[in-house]
């Protein structure tokens, strides 16, 4: 398979066929992000011949004697892939024509594919018309994962995310109308010391006006090769403590009013959890109260220091 650098995917895409159609990030400017620093370029679309070669390889693997391994790996009792996840930081940035062509290519090799997901930036949605979004939905694009990070405009500006909370509302409402479901990544700690719970309330207000299928919690980890690390060294920004991050997450969940899933499943989380709102809200708040009460700052800081990569 033509995989470039480290391949990142959401935890819930573990059973999807990971297909590289882009590598890198078109924005590559978020101060906290180091995920694509290992690439010698900022962004690249994969050549069609590489994508086709990967589809053929996946098809061969699927039909090879290791079929039982593939069935176990992808969890498909019908022995066919049902979902493809396009890798890269934001493949949804590709034009409508290229995305439609990609869907047709995928189905020419795997006719049983029912949905195609990817990471997406809010800025990837804006250039597409409502008609194009609806057509992409009809092509099978669904279940986008969007790293909105926060609804705190001050934090969005400082971290150079390239959009505002208002943009999140406008573009995700367009996805709602088009029938394209989406999940959010929330980054606890992005608002900085003393602002965690403020950021959580602002984020809950944004989410409560939308329909994210899942809100995935990640904990900010600052790496020395990030621009954010340099900002800290210059005295321009202070990190939240680990316990403040958990109080922030508690505030987010407490203020969410929509039916959704809240999950902390990635390596950045010292404590992992999963629950559905509103029915599991009480259990989640109890769990977070236990963590805040009983987990020491030093213990959590040791875990953060040990997170070598996300």
pLDDT at 75: 42
Average the pLDDT over 203-226 and give the result.
97
What sign does the CA torsion over 156, 41, 128, 133 have? Answer: negative
pLDDT at 14: 87
Segment 234-266, tens digit of pLDDT = 999 999 999 999 999 999 999 999 999 999 999
- The pLDDT-based confidence of 76 (bands split at 50, 70, 90) is very low
Q: Is the peptide bond before 278 cis (omega within 30 degrees of 0)?
A: yes
**What domains appear along the chain, each with residue ranges and CATH number?**
1-138 (3.30.750), 143-310 (3.30.750.200)
3-class secondary structure per residue, the chain: CCCCCCCCCCHHHCCCEEEECEEECCCCCCCCCCCCCCCCCCEEECCHHHHHHHHHHHHHHHHCCCHHHHHHHHCCCCCCCCEEEEECCCHHHCCHHHHHHHHHHHHHHCCCCCEEEEEECHHHHCCCCHHHHHHHHHHCECCEEEEEECCCHHHHHHCCCCCCHHHHHHHHHHHHHHCCCEEEEEEECCCCCCCHHHHHHHHHHHHCCCCCCEEEEEECCCCCCCHHHHHHHCCCCCCCCHHHHHHHHHHHHHHCCCCEEEEECCCCCCCCEEEEECCCHHHHHHHHHHHHHHCCHHHHHHHHHHCCCC
Average the pLDDT over 209-233 and give the result.
97
Return mean pLDDT, the chain: 93
- Burial label for 53, CB within 10 Å (0-12, 13-18, 19+), is middle
HSE of 26, CA atoms in CB hemisphere, 13 A? 14
Average the pLDDT over 10-29 and give the result.
94
Report d(CA 234, CA 239) in Å as an integer.
13
Residue 268, pLDDT > 60, answer yes
C-beta atoms surrounding 108 within 10 Å: 10
Segment 132-148, tens digit of pLDDT = 999 999 999 999 999 99
- The pLDDT-based confidence of 112 (bands split at 50, 70, 90) is confident
C-beta atoms surrounding 128 within 10 Å: 21
Question: What are the C-alpha distances in Å from 196 to residues 40, 220, 256?
Answer: 35, 11, 15
pLDDT at 73: 33
- The pLDDT-based confidence of 84 (bands split at 50, 70, 90) is very high
Average the pLDDT over 159-173 and give the result.
98
C-beta atoms surrounding 130 within 10 Å: 10
pLDDT at 61: 74
Segment 46-57, tens digit of pLDDT = 999 999 999 999
Residues 6+ apart with CB under 8 A from 64: 70
C-beta atoms surrounding 213 within 10 Å: 16
Report d(CA 164, CA 155) in Å as an integer.
10
pLDDT at 80: 53
Residue whose C-alpha is closest to residue 251's, from 189, 199, 207: 199
Q: Are 152 and 190 in contact (CB under 8 A)?
A: yes
Q: Is the pTM of this model over 0.95?
A: no
């Amino acid at each position: 398979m033509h995989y470039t650098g480290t391949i990142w995917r959401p935890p819930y895409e573990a059973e999807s066929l990971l297909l590289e159609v882009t590598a890198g990030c078109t924005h590559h400017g978020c101060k906290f992000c180091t995920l694509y620093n290992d690439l010698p370029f900022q962004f690249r679309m994969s050549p069609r011949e590489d994508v086709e070669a990967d589809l053929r390889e996946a098809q061969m693997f699927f039909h090879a004697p290791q079929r039982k391994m593939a069935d176990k790996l992808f969890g498909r009792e019908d022995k066919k892939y049902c979902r493809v996840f396009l890798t890269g930081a934001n493949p949804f940035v590709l034009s409508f024509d290229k995305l439609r062509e990609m869907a047709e290519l995928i189905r020419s090799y795997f006719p049983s594919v029912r949905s195609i997901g990817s990471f997406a930036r809010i800025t990837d949605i804006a250039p597409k018309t409502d008609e194009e979004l609806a057509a992409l939905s009809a092509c099978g694009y669904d279940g986008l994962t969007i790293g909105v990070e926060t609804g705190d405009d001050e934090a969005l500006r400082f971290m150079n995310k390239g959009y505002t909370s208002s943009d999140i509302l406008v573009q995700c409402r367009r996805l709602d109308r088009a029938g394209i479901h989406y999940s959010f990544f929330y980054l606890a700690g992005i608002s900085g010391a003393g602002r965690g719970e403020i950021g959580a309330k602002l984020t809950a207000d944004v989410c409560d006006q939308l329909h994210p299928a899942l809100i995935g919690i990640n904990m900010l980890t600052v790496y020395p090769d990030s621009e954010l690390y340099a900002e800290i060294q210059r005295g321009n920004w202070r990190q939240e403590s680990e316990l403040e991050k958990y109080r922030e997450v508690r505030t987010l969940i407490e203020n969410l009013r929509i039916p959704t899933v809240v999950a902390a499943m990635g390596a950045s989380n010292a404590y992992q959890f999963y629950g559905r709102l509103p029915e599991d809200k009480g259990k989640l708040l109890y769990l977070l109260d236990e963590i805040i009460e009983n987990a020491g700052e030093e213990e959590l800081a040791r875990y953060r220091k040990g997170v070598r990569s996300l």
